[in-house]
Amino acid sequence: MILFGIKNCDTVKKARKHLDNSNTPYQFHDFREAGLDDATLEAWLDKVEWKTLLNTRSTSWRQLSDEQKADVDRDKAKALMLDNPTLVKRPVLVSGDRIQVGYKSSDYDDVVAAHG
């Protein structure tokens, strides 16, 4: 199980605490330190709608130019997220074939139960 995010994100902290409290082993992948590669993002986009992965409410999104934010489709969203991984809605939890975007306690309970 791999949890993707950034260390100082409050939602990522909640997700990490949830996994820690349930004694669920996981790796943490920090976007700021380790980046995000094309193959990983493509695998996510095969299973999750790009509009779910692209965080248009983030500070990173607001800092983009109007041109960058215009006419976004899957390919443009992918390019933007590869260039700036903090545009990915956090956290992303990958467990086997399952990808959970964002944090909701009940969803994490389901992932932990399926993983265990």
Query: Count of H helices and E strands in the chain?
Result: 8, 4
Span 78-108, pLDDT tens digits: 999 999 999 999 999 999 889 999 999 999 9
Cα–Cα–Cα angle for 37, 5, 64, rounded to 5 degrees: 75
pLDDT at position 95, please? 93
Q: What is the pTM of this model?
A: 0.93
CATH number at residue 53: 3.40.30.10
Domain that holds residue 6: 2-115
Query: Which residue numbers are catalytic?
Result: 9
pLDDT of residue 115: 77
pLDDT digits (tens, 9 = 90+) for 51-86: 999 999 999 999 999 999 999 999 999 999 999 999
- Work out how many domains the chain is built from and give that number: 1
**Contact criterion met (CB below 8 Å) for 32 and 4:** no
